[in-house]
Structure 1
Amino acid sequence: MKRLLLMLLGALVACASPSAQEKGGLVPLRLDEAALSTAYAPRRIALLVGISEFQDPQWRNLRYSEKDATDLAAALKDPARGHFDQVRMLTRPEQTTRAAILSALHELQREATRPDDVVVVYFSAHGTLARDGQGELRRYLVTQDASYRSISQTALSMDVLKAEFDKLPSRRRLLVLATCHSGSGKSLLPKELEAELTGIKSGFYARPLEESSRASMVFAACDWGETAREDEGLRNDIYTYFLIEGLNGKADRNMDGAVTATEAHDYARRRTFAFTQGRQRPSAEILEVGADPVVLSGSINRTGRPELFSYNPRLDGFTLKVDGEPRTELPGGTAVVPGKRTVELTKGDAVLVRREIDMTAGERLPLEELLSDTFPRRSLALVGGVFSFVDGKSRAELLPASPEVAAVLRLEDKPLQDFALLLDVGGIRGQHRLKLAPGSEVPFGYTRLSVGVGMPYLWRWDRLSLYAGPRVAALYLRRSFQVEAFTGGQNYFTVSPGVVGGMVWRLGDRLELTSQAQVMLTYVVVDGQGQAVGFTGGWAGMGYRF
Structure 2
Amino acid sequence: MKPRAPSCSLSAWALALALLLATSVQAESPRRFALVAGNDEGGADTRPLRFARDDARKMHDLLLRLGGVEPGDARLLLDDDADDFLRALSELEASARAARARGERTTLLLYYSGHAKDGSLRLGDSQLDFEALKRRLSAAPADIRIAILDSCRSGALTRTKGARRAPAFAIESGASRDARGLVILTSSASDEDSQESDLLGGSFFSHHLTSGLMGDADRSGDGQVTLFEAYSHAYARTVADTADSSAGPQHPTFSYDLAGNGDLVLTDLRVRDEGLLVPRTAPAGAYYFVDPSGAVVAELDKAPDVERRVALAPGAYKVKRRLADRLRVGETEVRRGRTTVLDESRLRDAPFSDDPVKGVPSKERALRTSWTLGLTGGYHSFFDAPTREQLFLSTPLMGLEVGLHHYFREDWRWDFDLSLGGRRATLELPTLSGPSYRYSLLTVGTSLVAEFPLGSVSPFVGARLAYLVMGRDFEDASLPDQFYAVLTPGLVAGVRWRLPGRFELTGRARVHYLLYNVDAKRSLGYWELGALVTYRL
Q: TM-score, normalised by structure 2?
A: 0.39
TM-score normalized with structure 1 length = 0.39
Say which one has the larger Rg.
Answer: 1
The structure with higher relative contact order (CA 8 Å, sep 6+) is: 2
